[in-house]
Amino acid sequence: MDQNQVLFERAQAVIPGGVNSPVRAFRAVGGTPRFVARAQGAYFWDANGKQHIDYIGSWGPMILGHGHPKVVEAVQRAVLEGFSFGAPTEREIELAEAIIKLLPSIEQVRLVSSGTEAGMSAIRLARGFTGRSLMIKFEGCYHGHADSLLVKAGSGLATFGHPTSAGVPAEVAAHTLVLPFNDLEALEAAFKAHGHELATVIIEPIAGNMNFVRASVPFMKRLRELCTQHGALLILDEVMTGFRVGLSCAQGIYAQAIPGFAPDLTVLGKVIGGGMPLAAFGGRHDVMAKLAPLGGVYQAGTLSGNPVATACGLATLNEISQPGFFEALGAKTRSLVQGLKAVADRRGVPFSVDSEGGMFGFFLLPELAQNYQEVMKTDGPAFNRFFHAMLDQGVYFAPALYEAGFVSAAHSEADIAATLAAADKAWS
């Protein structure tokens, strides 16, 4: 009997859809979700005891792989000291100092518990700092499930958005403009029409929720210029890319191509918690000074800066800061995606790939997508067949064609070779 199916049926009786985050339900690809019994290194074992090579890594945090000994040791020590205090600890200062040391754009940082919380708090702070209400987001970028972010594009280049979720009031969505990703014409039009009203623009520098789509350098350069010109704060959502694509995050990559480039605020998550519920937002001192208890922008959280989560995050950041870590991780990821491309080409499958650091994406398209509309041209049924063929062989990619993938330091050359062999069989 399939224990995954047994658990899924049991879960659906007590949890909406049987899952606590929608993509886990396999609705996009069909079939039964894999319930994880345990994980170690680059693998997890499902409820049937079947081993899988894991290319989602808890959607990014497990950059060292599951159960890294030094991270486990740090967490065990922290647990013995106490689970939560609701009071300050030295360790949260240490984590804040570590983040600030690695990211020059951040002068102060506030720790929270989730990416959604960090994103919505950064937007509130930007509005409080500027005294304005309007914000811009980009179609295909995901910044959490706060009301003002669950918005789809309107019908024109600079029209207001519409809610994508029941329960989001239209008047809330009316404060959000949704623009096409990488579209300079739409960006210019929006600032021309609404620049004096804009509090902030929030963007994933490398979007990971429409698979893997980079903001072009000219687009990011002009976005920074327009925000500065009109007094709007630029928020980089690096929940996914932060310390995943490189030690200086995605903003460091853009700074190499755009002299002086820096966001006003940065949203972080995933890797900084090492797999535990922890996120953060930070930026310029004058902006962060508007936060309570110093300023009038209120934000609070009982579990913010949790002592066990900060121990996990600190241990993870320490390991990925070792010399050569990202060079090795990047080479490993390129080996995977270039190998997949070679197999697809040999089998006559339209296929394009990209990667940065330990993050990657692929499309069943002849060329890389540049925005959400191009992503939507991917052959969904073909992806679903590929996904299940790989899953049957013990290779676990994201169960949706709109999600990026992740390689960890624990993945071996043998794992990558096994993945490529599975892909060759899947496309045979």
- pLDDT at 51 > cutoff 50: yes
Q: Which residues contact 228 (CB under 8 A, 6 or more apart)?
A: none
Pull the structure tokens for residue 48: 């049937």
Catalytic, 183? Answer no
In this chain, the answer to whether the domains covering 3-67+323-426 and 69-320 adopt an identical fold is no
Sequence letter at residue 49: G
For position 155, what pLDDT does the model report?
A: 45
- Which is the catalytic residue, given 43, 55, 142, 396? 142
CATH class, range 3-67+323-426: alpha beta
For position 160, what pLDDT does the model report?
A: 61
Q: Where exactly are the structural domains of the chain?
A: 3-67+323-426, 69-320
Question: How many CB atoms are closer than 10 A to CB 57?
Answer: 28
Residue 224 sits at the vertex; the CA angle it makes with 294 and 359, to the nearest 5 degrees, is: 90
Q: Angle between the 217-230 and 249-257 helix axes, to the nearest 10 degrees? A: 90
Asked whether the beta carbons of 42 and 411 are under 8 A apart, the reply is: yes
For position 9, what pLDDT does the model report?
A: 98
**3-state class of 40 per DSSP?**
strand
Residue for token digits 């029209």? 159
Q: What is the largest CA-CA distance in the chain?
A: 63
User: Which pLDDT tens digit goes with each residue over 150-175?
Assistant: 887 654 544 566 788 888 888 888 89
Question: How many CB atoms are closer than 10 A to CB 376?
Answer: 13
Percent of the chain with pLDDT over 90: 92
User: Which pLDDT tens digit goes with each residue over 260-289?
Assistant: 999 999 999 999 999 999 999 999 999 999
CA R_g for the chain: 21
For position 42, what pLDDT does the model report?
A: 98
Report strand pairing: 213-214 vs 206-207: antiparallel
| Average pLDDT score over the chain | 95
Q: Which residues contact 179 (CB under 8 A, 6 or more apart)?
A: 136, 137, 138, 139, 153, 157, 158, 186, 187, 190
Beta strand extents in 145-208 (DSSP E only): 151-152, 162-163, 176-179, 198-203, 206-207
pTM across the whole model: 0.96
User: Per DSSP, what are the bridge partners of residue 280?
Assistant: 111, 268
User: Which pLDDT tens digit goes with each residue over 57-81?
Assistant: 999 999 999 999 999 999 999 999 9
Closest CA to 313 of 97, 54, 106: 97
Catalytic, 142? Answer yes
Topology (CATH level 3) of domain 69-320: Aspartate Aminotransferase; domain 2 (3.40.640)
**3-state class of 394 per DSSP?**
coil
Asked whether the beta carbons of 340 and 360 are under 8 A apart, the reply is: no
**3-state class of 144 per DSSP?**
coil
260: left (phi over 0), alpha (psi -120 to 50) or beta: left
Sequence letter at residue 265: L
- pLDDT at 101 > cutoff 80: yes
Quote the CA–CA distance of 119 and 136 in Å, as a whole number: 13
- pLDDT at 206 > cutoff 70: yes
34 secondary structure, DSSP code: P
Buried/exposed code over 355-364 (b: 16+ C-beta within 10 A; e: otherwise): bbbbbbbbbb
Over residues 28-55, the mean pLDDT reads 97
- pLDDT at 110 > cutoff 50: yes
- Which is the catalytic residue, given 46, 54, 237, 354? 237
User: Which pLDDT tens digit goes with each residue over 229-268?
Assistant: 999 999 999 999 999 999 999 999 999 999 999 999 999 9
- Which is the catalytic residue, given 254, 270, 332, 415? 270
